[in-house]
Structure 1
Amino acid sequence: MRLELSSEGRYALRALIYLARVNRRVTADTISADTGIPRRLLARVLAKLSRARLVRSSEGRGGGSELARSPEQITLREAVEAIEGPFEVTRCIMEERACGTGAPCAMHEAWEEGQEAILDYLQGQTLSEFVSQTAAAVRPEG
């Protein structure tokens, strides 16, 4: 089994870590050029991050995007859920039905515990922990 983020989820994390590194307001064109995120997808990602209050954006001359909070206060769980939505088991593993309808199946508890372990890990990781690790991968000009 593979647990993967969508393209938007990967781009969101890339954009957030970039904004944490530059620590200033930058234009979407600059973010796109420096991170390799396609400009049209970046606009959608930044809008979702803004709705989740992770990014602050302004238009016009001198506009751009910046983190709404310090990198130490933004967790990977918040970032991922802002794009992907809340994590949840939606289909029963053992039967053809929605999870949560009827009695829990034999796998339900184990699956929920695994999901909680992943969420707890993501909740404990902040953007600031990845800024120095990505310094070689993305070099913003400043």
Structure 2
Amino acid sequence: MRLELSSEGRYAMRALVYLARFGERVNADTIAAEAKIPRRLLARILARLSHAGLVQSHAGRGGGSTLARPPEEITLRDAVEAAEGPFKVTRCIMKDRNCGEGRPCAMHDAWEEGQGAILEYLGSQTLDEFVSETAAGAFPLETS
């Protein structure tokens, strides 16, 4: 089994790390080019992140996007759920039905416990913990 983010989820994480790294308002064209995010998807991704309260968008001349909260207050769980939606098992493993419909199957509790452990871990990791490790190589600061 692979737990994997969708491409939009990966792009959302890149955008958040990019914004955390620079800490100031950045326009969408710059984010797209430097974080290597397709421009056609970036508006939708930023809208999702804004709706979740992770990014603020500023329209007009001099507009752009910034983090809505400090990076030490944004967890990986916040980011993943903003991009991908709620993290949960939706289909029963043993029966062809929605998970939790009717009597739980034999594996229900084990899956719920595993899901809880993943969510707890993602909730304990903040964006700022990854900025210095990953962003420096991925998004080097321009030096004049």
TM-score range, shorter chain: over 0.9
Matched, 1:95 2:89: no
TM-score, normalization: structure 2?
0.95
Matched, 1:5 2:5: yes
Is the contact between residue 34 and residue 139 of structure 1 (CA under 8 Å) also seen in structure 2?
no
Q: Distance in 2 between matches of 1:37 and 1:89?
A: 29
Is the contact between residue 32 and residue 42 of structure 1 (CA under 8 Å) also seen in structure 2?
yes
Q: Which residue of 1 aligns with 2:79?
A: 79
Q: Distance in 1 between matches of 2:20 and 2:97?
A: 42
Determine what percentage of the aligned residue pairs are the same residue: 72
Runs of 4+ in 1 over 3 A off after TM superposition: none
Amino acid across the alignment from 2:52: A
Q: Which runs of 5+ in 1 are unaligned?
A: none
Q: Which residue of 2 aligns with 1:141?
A: 142
Matched, 1:121 2:139: no
Q: Secondary structure at the match of 2:137?
A: coil
Q: Which runs of 5+ in 2 are unaligned?
A: none
Q: Secondary structure at the match of 2:56?
A: strand
Q: Count residues in correspondence.
A: 142
Q: Secondary structure at the match of 1:69?
A: coil
For residues 21-45 of structure 1, the C-alpha deviation after alignment (integer angstroms, 9 at most, x for no partner) is 0000000001011111011111110
TM-score, normalization: structure 1?
0.97
Is the contact between residue 34 and residue 140 of structure 1 (CA under 8 Å) also seen in structure 2?
no
Q: Distance in 2 between matches of 1:103 and 1:45?
A: 37
Q: Which residue of 1 aligns with 2:20?
A: 20
Q: Secondary structure at the match of 1:19?
A: helix
Q: Distance in 1 between matches of 2:36 and 2:142?
A: 14
Q: Secondary structure at the match of 2:138?
A: coil
Q: Secondary structure at the match of 2:93?
A: coil
